[in-house]
Structure 1
């Protein structure tokens, strides 16, 4: 009897894990659900959120308004007039799904999502077009690293610098950032100048404005074509969203 009971129990456990492994998200009525964003057509929001680093929803609105609240509202309204250009730029091509990715170097969920994005881009290099947006939310060290990343893009080495930052504990010192930059062959004098430039500040402001209008209260954030989502999600769900986007009749932008 004992052996039979063990076999029955083992069968039940195997059945449970087997059912969990089935592609339930692909069954009728079980796939991703979307809701249109009323004041931002044609964008839509994924129903539900993933894992994020940032302010818990219960605490949103409890902090005092930032000192630049009026300027942020003005920038958000300006971006709202043409969110596609602010999100994706103007270098896309027909048949390619644009992905705007909002991240923070000290966000562990960003690291997990980036691995999935790398896999997606590697498997389908001609199908997607990734635009990086740095959204520092954890203070001076994050701000410094974000500025360096944006400035490194001007020398064509943003991906290399980002990979190094993701593997290295951040230190809130410009000297440390410049040492990493020198290691990967960046012109550090130019990088330091660009980090303090009005152009980099403008890009940082634009990213913050996009986060405000799309409701990104933490990182990571994604806009995949017309679909907006906040947080790291399973790779299977990410693939389903991009397949849904590819099935749309017309590009979002």
Structure 2
């Protein structure tokens, strides 16, 4: 059967393209060729697996190329929007942007590894994008963090961010008010600010950016020109090292 298929394929490639056009084949020829192909694939399923792997590799390459283009086209909103918190090393040679949701279990799980990377590396500029998508509690937590930043500054924001990442309890006005008091900021002013246009504008712009970037989940990282929809199994360190080497090379 393999010989039959091989002969058919050799004949097809040896003749002009129209000679192998199924429209020019008789029904008997179509049936014979189809049967030969099917029997060969049934006997050699690894051929299908190989084809699928090649297709997946090409698809992933196309997606990565498209993501790079999205980053390039939206770089100002990503890296210099004027409202997102900037930490790590603000003068670092690598910029890492993270879209987060405070009710996202994986965001909480990966956060210690992110903090460790920033501490160990020491040369990464870190930008946090509030992107609440999971629940009403997500939205409240994000609004609280933004309101703290606007009311009390960058240091207070980071403290709020850390507390919200570590929290496993409910998010409501009572718990957020208690957190504000614990952080030493004006709880009444922060809670009142949460539903103002100044805070809503930040959340809205982040959502608009995420829509343009086709970001639908958290955490999503953008490191320089690379977008990571999730966290690679090997972590972020190899990606950072690869990007830094490419920049220096």
Q: What range describes the TM-score normalised by the shorter chain of this pair? A: 0.5 to 0.7
Q: Deviations over 1:157-193 (max 9, x none)?
A: 1121122222323434212211111111111122123
Aligned to 2:231: 232
Instruction: Give TM-score scaled by structure 1 length.
Output: 0.63
- Distance change in 2, residues 1:42/1:132 (3 Å): closer
- Structure 1 residue 84 displacement after superposition: 2.0
Q: Deviations over 1:72-95 (max 9, x none)?
A: xxxxxxxx5xx2222122689776
Instruction: Give TM-score scaled by structure 2 length.
Output: 0.64
Kindly name which structure, 1 or 2, has the bigger radius of gyration based on alpha carbons. Answer: 2
Aligned to 2:99: 102
- Distance change in 2, residues 1:39/1:227 (3 Å): closer
Q: Which protein has the bigger helix share? A: 2
**Cα RMSD, aligned residues only:** 2.6
Asked if residue 245 in structure 1 is aligned to residue 243 in structure 2, the reply is yes
Q: 2:75 aligns with which of 63, 84, 87?
A: 84
Asked if residue 194 in structure 1 is aligned to residue 202 in structure 2, the reply is no
- Distance change in 2, residues 1:220/1:132 (3 Å): same
- Structure 1 residue 106 displacement after superposition: 1.5
* SS in structure 2 of the partner of residue 186 of structure 1: coil
Aligned to 1:213: 212
- Distance change in 2, residues 1:233/1:129 (3 Å): same
* Runs (4+) off by over 3 Å: 90-95
* SS in structure 2 of the partner of residue 228 of structure 1: strand
Aligned to 1:12: none
Runs of 5+ unmatched residues, structure 1 = 1-31, 44-79
- Distance change in 2, residues 1:142/1:237 (3 Å): closer
- In 2, the alpha carbon distance for the partners of 1:158 and 1:113 equals 19
Q: 2:129 aligns with which of 129, 133, 140?
A: 133
Q: Which structure carries more relative contact order (alpha carbon 8 Å, separation 6+)?
A: 1
- Structure 1 residue 99 displacement after superposition: 0.9
- In 1, the alpha carbon distance for the partners of 2:206 and 2:70 equals 19
- Structure 1 residue 147 displacement after superposition: 0.4
- Structure 1 residue 228 displacement after superposition: 0.4
